[in-house]
Structure 1
Amino acid sequence: MRLLIIAAMFVAHFSVPAMAQSLRDMAGQMVMIGFQGDQSSGKWHNGVKSLVKEGKIGGVLYLKYNVASTDMVKSKNADWQSVAPANLPLLISIDQEGGQVERLTKSVGFAEIASAQDVANSMNASAAQALYENLGRRLAALGFNVNFGPVVDVNVNRNNPIIAKFGRSYSADPEKVAEYGAAFVRGHKSAGVLTSLKHFPGHGSSQADSHLGFADITQSWRDTEYVPYKKLISQNLAQMVMVGHLYHKSFAEAGKNDYPASLSSVAINGVLRQGLGFNGVVVSDDMEMGAITKLYGFDEAVIAAVRAGNDILLFSNTREPSLELPNKIINLLVSEAERDPAFAEMIKRSYGRIVGMKAMLVQ
């Protein structure tokens, strides 16, 4: 599928939910942040709880330093979830891929699992699904309802510094990646945990690590990297898609030639939504990664991300940790919406998709 052909085609139409909320409340649901601390009390825990109660965040992200013990994690999550609206549960997320990318580890008594590469090399897809269902149930028991996986990056570049290096790809065969990615999604779905395909349009071919800076995949990217997305979307197994901070010249927009996929409407609204038919929630990769912070200012990146089609803006909140970050994001979004009615409609559409996805958690 040619990027330029798809990009030229896109026109998106989405419905807005009937349930009325203020624009500020809608913008709050688009914010997901990381936090400091690992206790179920204190400044950060109580601060996050207030943000949830006030509707200023729609989700939180755990990193390894947030985990003191499984009991503490369970307590924190239950406390935060208790103040979220019944119809809009807090998204409590984690990266628990397996292998070297795990936030819950054996050091706190959480049984670890193998990397994607090792899973695909050691068991069939049916066994993998059972493995992932067990993982999902253990995550759900601690209060998590989102696991940011599966990694459906195709292992195009065996010297890749962030995917291949850590065994995060299932295979160099896109069909196999799709098969095991489906096992990951189905397993977690059975456990009541949402998942997110990542990192669109494909990080497996990159020569650089987008955590550190600009990652240009124009020359190394292959069309086959779309295969897992096509298959999982067609099978209704794509609940969310995480878009990477990956530059491809075919995603370029007039006056914005250096924007990565995560800030490109051509990539998200054009290729992912119109071209591949994805109608679910799009979440940005961490907006504090070097590929964003080293090239764009905060205001520009936030506004561009929403204009591009991201529904959830993920901030690890690690650069300058602050409980004021959500307010800063919301104020920026509302101000832009008041200036531009079209931008306000984008917020409403994102809110609608988020509400629809969260409904799956309260059924």
Structure 2
Amino acid sequence: MDRVTDPQLTRRLLLTGAGAAAVAAGLGGCGADGPKRTPQLAGESRPATARPTGSPGPRDEVALRRKIASLLVVGFRGERLAADDWIMKAVREGLGGVILFDRDLQTRERRNIISPDQARALVTSLRDASPGRLIVSIDQEGGRVARLNPENGFPATQSQAQIGATNSTPRTRAWAQTIVQGLTSIGVNLNYAPVVDMNVNPDSPAIGRLERAFSADPDVVVKNATEEIQMHPSSGVKTVLKHFPGSGSATGNTDFAVVDVTRTWNPRELEPFRRLIADGATDSVMAAHLLNKQLDPHRPASLSPAVVTDLLRGQLGWKGPVVSDDMQAVAITSRYGRDQAVALGLEAGMDLLVFANQQVYDTRVVDQTLDTVVDLVRTGRLTEARIDESVARVDALRPPR
């Protein structure tokens, strides 16, 4: 489709029936219907800000750090953990959650999962160490993206593409039940699934080639995603819609490169998100690291107030938690330092920040991120009230006490 050069016009058209047609026709150049945001670009300096009244002093900084820690999900190496491991220390001090992987991206060795019994024991040790309700998360989509798989003693599962091709309600339910049973058998309570990207580009290295999308038809996507999601709550597992605002047309993978979908993305890719949100069918939404200049000319979606706050929360009406994709993905680290990315993500409206520790392995990531966000509150760039909003939203993702 032709690129729309006026992002305000694009946002006005997104949720209307004529929107996709108008964008495809290349409409542009109309006046904006409201004030435009002025994003702060990488490297721009901000004026010095005096410490505001109510910013944390020494006595309440510990409480603030606990709040911030509760908004972080972090990956780690190890099939078993000792009490003095860095991740166990972080969990004891209030880390919000962990993410499990079967293989380590750098070493290619087993990472967290060898067998059902071992994985269950690992999760139990982490949950026992936590003073709160620990989020234990995983990517269990089915097919090639399944951390619980026959290699480590779990049943094989079909891909979302295979399920969508059949488009059979009984088959989708049976498939989803197998996925959920694997999760609950080891104590996972947050699944980064389903993928509701539309299979716009079957050759996409991130979606189409990996058979991660149910279909190019939004009706098929919504039907099968709904069935899958409905199998999770009774087992105490929360779900995450991904990758907002749509990655199906991408020609790259944000884990390994900056990916720009400006010329390939169509507002129709919002349809599954819009319908599933309207139906109250999910627990959270993941913001993608894609650059989409139709929606924000400067920032990737995950760091964009125009995408996360204005579009997802404003126009689509999403009130729940927004989860980041991996904050250490190349799409982010190649353009932003960790501190800047964290600041921009929270300013954009994200709530739960995920550090997979796969692209890099950083045992200091928790403490350094806490230092960053405390400093943002100290200087007034973020308020503690803004942190409290995210804490309240993320609390809904935690398992029962």
Q: TM-score, normalised by structure 2?
A: 0.81
Partner of 2:157: 113
Q: Unmatched 5+ residue regions in structure 2?
A: 1-7, 15-32, 38-59, 104-111
The whole-number CA distance in structure 2 between the counterparts of 1:74 and 1:277 is 37
> Does structure 1 residue 27 correspond to structure 2 residue 71?
no
> Does structure 1 residue 303 correspond to structure 2 residue 310?
no
| Aligned-CA RMSD value | 2.2
- Equivalent position to 1:4, from 11, 18, 26: 11
Contact 1:9–1:274 (CA under 8 A) maintained in structure 2: no
Which residues in structure 2 correspond to 1:104-183 (within 5 Å)? 104-183=148-227
- Equivalent position to 2:391, from 346, 351, 358: 351
| Shift, 1:8, TM fit | 5.3
The whole-number CA distance in structure 1 between the counterparts of 2:36 and 2:67 is 25
| Shift, 1:154, TM fit | 0.3
Name the % identity.
Answer: 31
The whole-number CA distance in structure 2 between the counterparts of 1:54 and 1:132 is 34
| Shift, 1:125, TM fit | 2.5
- Equivalent position to 2:99, from 61, 64, 73: 61
| Shift, 1:48, TM fit | 1.8
The whole-number CA distance in structure 2 between the counterparts of 1:247 and 1:8 is 23
The whole-number CA distance in structure 1 between the counterparts of 2:113 and 2:153 is 11
Q: How many residues align?
A: 344
Partner of 1:82: 128
Larger Rg: 2
Contact 1:10–1:275 (CA under 8 A) maintained in structure 2: no
The whole-number CA distance in structure 2 between the counterparts of 1:214 and 1:230 is 26
Q: Give a deviation string over 1:87-136, Cα, whole Å, max 9, x none.
A: x4111111111111111111221002100000122351343123212321
Q: Give a deviation string over 1:288-339, Cα, whole Å, max 9, x none.
A: 1111111111111111011111101111113442332101001100110111
Contact 1:23–1:348 (CA under 8 A) maintained in structure 2: no
SS in 1 for 2:231: helix
The whole-number CA distance in structure 1 between the counterparts of 2:188 and 2:233 is 13
| Shift, 1:204, TM fit | 0.2
Query: 1:77/1:120 Cα in 2 relative to 1: closer, same or farther (>3 Å)?
Result: same
Contact 1:31–1:58 (CA under 8 A) maintained in structure 2: yes
The whole-number CA distance in structure 1 between the counterparts of 2:36 and 2:130 is 36
- Equivalent position to 1:242, from 286, 290, 299: 286
The whole-number CA distance in structure 2 between the counterparts of 1:313 and 1:8 is 30
Runs of 4 or more, structure 1, over 4 Å off, are: 6-11
| Shift, 1:190, TM fit | 2.4
SS in 2 for 1:307: helix
Contact 1:10–1:270 (CA under 8 A) maintained in structure 2: no
| Shift, 1:3, TM fit | 3.9
Contact 2:197–2:243 (CA under 8 A) maintained in structure 1: yes
**Structure 2 letter corresponding to 1:50:** K
Contact 1:171–1:177 (CA under 8 A) maintained in structure 2: yes
| Shift, 1:2, TM fit | 5.8
| Shift, 1:206, TM fit | 1.1
The whole-number CA distance in structure 2 between the counterparts of 1:8 and 1:355 is 34
The whole-number CA distance in structure 2 between the counterparts of 1:296 and 1:137 is 39
Query: 1:300/1:291 Cα in 2 relative to 1: closer, same or farther (>3 Å)?
Result: same
Partner of 1:276: 316
Partner of 2:256: 212
Partner of 2:116: 70
The whole-number CA distance in structure 1 between the counterparts of 2:9 and 2:134 is 38
The whole-number CA distance in structure 1 between the counterparts of 2:309 and 2:200 is 25
Partner of 1:189: 233
Contact 1:62–1:94 (CA under 8 A) maintained in structure 2: yes
Contact 1:10–1:269 (CA under 8 A) maintained in structure 2: no
Partner of 2:363: 323
**Structure 2 letter corresponding to 1:72:** Q
Q: TM-score, normalised by structure 1?
A: 0.89
Q: Give a deviation string over 1:25-73, Cα, whole Å, max 9, x none.
A: 1101111111012224476xx3322211111x20111111221222111
